[in-house]
Amino acid sequence: MNKAFYIIVAILVAAFLAYWLLGNYRNQSDTGTVPTESTQEQGSSSQSTDSQSPSEPSSTEQAPEAAAETVVTYTDDGFSPDSIEITAGTKVVFINQSSRSMWVASDPHPIHSDDSAFDSRVGVGRGESYSYTFTRSGRWGYHNHLRTNDGGTVTVK
């Protein structure tokens, strides 16, 4: 074999190792993923502590309010609606009704650094969904990591 072949192989191996190591580093630094059966939800959750002991009944207890939820559907034509406006604390459910996998992630592609927690990190099949609760105000661009021309925006007030 010639010298050029070995140089090309060495470059490819080095590139693969760098990609793999960077991917492992990002996976260790990102938090907040809670997978469920066919739905993956990310975002922040809050816990409150009550000063009463669990055995004491409370006469002022109220049923928890239903969390706000918005649905975005992904089809072979892209996301619909592709732009939404919500309030902080709203859960957005991305439902895949296309013939291919959907990997929802924040912009920019391919590093997803606008909101690194807003990333399903895996393709979601037809009939499955990915959910994310937006807790910070701003304008968040997103895309299908597997088909980067399909994308949209979430504006959080």
Residue with the bigger pLDDT between 107 and 34: it is 107
pLDDT at 53 over 80: no
Higher per-residue pLDDT: 3 or 46: 3
Distance CA 10, CA 48 (A): 54
Residue 40 has pLDDT above 60, yes or no: no
Q: Give yes or no for residue 20 having a pLDDT over 80.
A: no
H-helix segments, 30-88: none
- Residue 54 has a pLDDT of 41
pLDDT tens figures, 123-148: 999 999 999 999 999 999 999 999 99
Nearest to 103 by CA among 135, 134, 141, 148: 148
Confidence (pLDDT) at 34:
36
What was the pLDDT predicted at 150? 96
CATH number of 31-44+66-157: 2.60.40.420
In whole angstroms, give the CA distance from residue 47 to residue 68. 17
* Position 42 pLDDT exceeds 80: no
Q: Where are the domains of the chain?
A: 1-28, 31-44+66-157
> Residue 20 half-sphere exposure, CB side, CA atoms within 13 Å?
6
Mind listing the pLDDT tens digit for each residue in 78-125?
999 999 999 999 999 999 999 999 999 999 898 888 889 999 999 999
Lowest mean pLDDT among 22-26, 29-33, 101-105, 139-143: 29-33
Q: What is the mean pLDDT of the chain?
A: 77
